[in-house]
């Protein structure tokens, strides 16, 4: 009898220890082999997010963590545990015989949806999601994973259903990512799970006492529970004439499409603001052939976040590609009759411009909320379960959530996805406390900097490797004699280990860190 499956011995039992990963071959198929608690598991070897090689990631208990963007999966069943991946990983059968590990291929799929319930059309209970970004996208899946079978309505001001927003400043803006890559899910997915996505919907009022939402169209919706994940709105340039054409922001897919059309060979663009998004935009427009000037108020880009040494390094990467910087400068005014043609700096320097890109950060988009107190920055304060009021939750850019020594608000894609998912599960009745350690990444001239933790200021920086001379390095940010955050280039496993240690409350002392730490070994300690 001829077997109708492919199976192979891939290693001996004692070839791997607990916590070890290895990519193996079964027939013509690559498979990730993992060992945890004495058990072997076989999974698809590429991350469901951007296809990163998971063998270069890290296994902490049953948590399999991607090296690039820290998506996380359960090694036992392949389920997605953390954003930015939406799907889980297919698994294969494993058996032990004669001291050898055999893997039998059981699927040829590259990713699988987490288990979700189907909607019940007879159920009238209605949950509303205000916002169609990362938090909203993960929230609707959290609702169905959590067992909610009622109606789900997503209201988004965008022209599109949820899409891969981080790519808008990177490959998509450069013309390297086609349109079909951008949607997070297909229209069929949302239809199958009964998720009613209403685009071009502007919410003018949400009253937490009456549980009513008013739209600019005049329609009023009543909700049983709602999640506010309305994101941020770009900060304006003070004194800007609203009628002046040729001034853009980079916040949406539509913005990216417009800038891609504008930023062709020889076009002159001035970017106001030296933020991460501003410089990712500068990078991408330069790759399109634009002539790029960057104006920033800080003397060194990103110095307040990653320190001056790394900030200067990143500035140098851009300068090598022909991007010019004007730092420690303010905008005096934009010039042009009807459309911008120049930017005048506060030192009198005049920069010619075919168009201007504003990268001045965002503030929480919460003006429409009624009966909900707001923080000084416009955000809203949640409890540990991301709850604002009875039947009302918040996630993403607008949410101040509790931490050990106060609250914090984070504006990053992975954080938004994790919070949206947690809020969705809690709305479905699961009562999961949100306690994740923040993580973000940025691509600056093809070099990915990963950052974990949060330090809006710091007393000192401990370097492992020299950013000025080494190809790979870590920077650890110290506040009040504690490691609060870390940034790294080509130190993916270390960044993962640091995040897991921060989450577990097991971060080594500053003194020990100064003596030198093997972060992966530190994580493996009991």
- Check if the beta carbon of residue 355 is closer than 8 Å to that of residue 271: no
Residue reference for tokens 């990712």: 280
pLDDT confidence tier of residue 526, bands split at 50, 70 and 90: low
- Check if the beta carbon of residue 149 is closer than 8 Å to that of residue 117: yes
Contacts for 470 with CB less than 8 Å, ≥ 6 apart: none
High-pLDDT (> 90) share of the chain, %: 96
Give the Cα separation of 162 and 197 in Å (integer): 9
- Check if the beta carbon of residue 167 is closer than 8 Å to that of residue 160: no
Task: Convert the pLDDT of each residue in 214-244 to its tens digit.
Answer: 999 999 999 999 999 999 999 999 999 989 9
Tokens of 275: 């933020």
Task: Convert the pLDDT of each residue in 298-308 to its tens digit.
Answer: 999 999 999 99
Residue reference for tokens 């990444």: 441
Paired sense of beta strands 380-381 and 291-296, if any: unpaired
What secondary structure letter does DSSP report for 476?
A: E
Query: For residue 514, how far is the Cα from the chain centroid?
Result: 30
Give the Cα separation of 60 and 18 in Å (integer): 9
Residue 370 dihedral angles phi and psi, to the nearest 5°: -115, 145
- Check if the beta carbon of residue 458 is closer than 8 Å to that of residue 484: yes
Task: Convert the pLDDT of each residue in 359-370 to its tens digit.
Answer: 999 999 999 999
Residue reference for tokens 């939402």: 213
- Check if the beta carbon of residue 394 is closer than 8 Å to that of residue 227: yes
Paired sense of beta strands 58-60 and 291-296, if any: unpaired
Beta-sheet strands, E only, within 307-361? 324-327, 331-335, 342-345, 350-352, 355-358
In Å, how far are 31, 79, 437 from 109, measured between CA atoms?
Answer: 12, 14, 31
Task: Convert the pLDDT of each residue in 92-132 to its tens digit.
Answer: 999 999 999 999 999 888 889 999 999 999 999 999 999 99
- Report pLDDT for 316: 97
All structural domains of the chain, each given as residue ranges with its CATH number in brackets, are 7-104 (2.102.10.10), 126-233+364-427 (3.50.50.60), 247-360 (3.50.50.60), 446-524 (3.30.390.30)
Nearest Cα neighbor of 148 from 229, 223, 230 is: 223
The predicted model scores a pTM of 0.96
Q: Report CA Rg, the chain.
A: 24
- Report pLDDT for 3: 57
pLDDT confidence tier of residue 265, bands split at 50, 70 and 90: confident
Task: Convert the pLDDT of each residue in 465-516 to its tens digit.
Answer: 999 999 999 999 999 999 999 999 999 999 999 999 999 999 999 999 999 9
Give the Cα separation of 220 and 204 in Å (integer): 10
Nearest Cα neighbor of 450 from 70, 1, 113, 147 is: 70
Contacts for 311 with CB less than 8 Å, ≥ 6 apart: 300, 301, 302, 303
Task: Convert the pLDDT of each residue in 278-299 to its tens digit.
Answer: 999 999 999 999 999 999 999 9
pLDDT confidence tier of residue 1, bands split at 50, 70 and 90: very low
pLDDT confidence tier of residue 525, bands split at 50, 70 and 90: confident
pLDDT at 353 over 50: yes
Instruction: Tell me what the mean pLDDT of segment 428-448 comes to.
Output: 96
- Check if the beta carbon of residue 278 is closer than 8 Å to that of residue 271: yes
Contacts 24+ apart (CB under 8 A), 54-58: 54/21, 54/89, 55/21, 55/22, 55/23, 56/492, 56/493, 57/21, 57/492, 57/493, 57/496, 58/21, 58/493, 58/496, 58/497, 58/500, 58/520, 58/523
- Report pLDDT for 110: 85
Whole-number average pLDDT of the chain = 96
């Amino acid at each position: 009898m001829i077997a109708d499956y492919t199976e192979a011995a891939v290693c001996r039992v004692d070839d791997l220890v607990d916590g070890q990963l290895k990519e193996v071959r079964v027939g013509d198929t690559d498979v990730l082999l993992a060992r945890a608690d004495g058990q072997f598991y076989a999974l698809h070897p590429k991350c469901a997010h951007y296809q990163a090689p998971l063998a270069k990631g890290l296994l902490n208990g049953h948590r399999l963590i991607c090296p690039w963007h820290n998506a996380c999966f359960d090694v036992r069943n392949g389920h997605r545990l953390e954003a930015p991946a939406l799907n889980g990983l297919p698994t294969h059968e494993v058996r032990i015989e004669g001291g050898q590990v055999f893997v039998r291929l059981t699927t040829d799929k590259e990713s699988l949806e987490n288990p979700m319930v189907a909607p019940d059309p007879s159920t009238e209970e209605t949950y509303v999601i205000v916002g169609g970004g990362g938090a909203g996208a993960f929230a609707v899946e959290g609702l169905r994973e959590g067992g909610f079978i009622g109606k789900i309505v997503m209201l988004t001001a965008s022209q599109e259903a949820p899409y891969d927003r981080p790519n808008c400043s990177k490959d998509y803006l450069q013309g390297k990512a086609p349109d079909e890559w951008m949607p997070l899910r297909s229209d069929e997915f949302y239809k199958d799970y009964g998720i009613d996505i209403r685009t071009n919907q502007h919410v003018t009022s949400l009253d937490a006492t009456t549980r009513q939402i008013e739209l600019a169209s005049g329609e009023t919706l009543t909700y049983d529970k709602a999640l506010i994940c309305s994101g941020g709105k770009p900060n304006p340039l003070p004194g800007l004439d609203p009628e002046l054409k040729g001034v853009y922001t980079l916040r949406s897919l539509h913005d990216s499409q417009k800038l891609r059309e504008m930023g062709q060979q020889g076009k002159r663009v001035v970017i106001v603001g030296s933020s991460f998004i501003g410089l990712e935009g500068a990078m991408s427009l330069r790759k399109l052939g634009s002539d790029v000037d960057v104006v920033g108020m800080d003397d060194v880009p990103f110095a307040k976040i990653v320190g001056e040494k790394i900030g200067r390094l990143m500035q140098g990467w851009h300068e090598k590609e022909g991007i010019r910087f004007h730092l420690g400068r303010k905008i005096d005014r934009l010039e042009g009759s009807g459309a911008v043609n120049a930017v005048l700096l506060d030192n009198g320097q005049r920069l010619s411009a075919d168009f201007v890109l504003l990268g001045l950060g965002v503030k929480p988009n919460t003006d429409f909320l009624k009966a909900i107190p707001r923080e000084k920055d416009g955000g809203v304060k949640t409890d540990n379960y991301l709850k604002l009021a009875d039947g009302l939750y918040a996630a993403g850019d607008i949410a101040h959530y509790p931490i050990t020594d106060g609250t914090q608000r984070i504006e990053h894609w992975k954080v938004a996805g994790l919070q949206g998912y947690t809020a969705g599960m809690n709305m479905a009745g699961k009562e999961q406390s949100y306690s994740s350690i923040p993580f973000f990444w940025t691509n600056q001239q093809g070099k990915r900097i990963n950052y974990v933790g949060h330090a809006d200021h710091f007393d000192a920086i401990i370097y492992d490797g020299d950013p000025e001379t080494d190809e790979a390095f870590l920077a650890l940010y110290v506040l009040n004699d504690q490691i609060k955050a870390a940034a790294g280039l080509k130190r993916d496993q270390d960044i993962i280990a640091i995040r897991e240690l921060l989450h577990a409350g097991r971060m080594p002392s500053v003194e020990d860190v100064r003596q030198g730490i093997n972060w992966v070994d530190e994580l493996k300690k009991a």
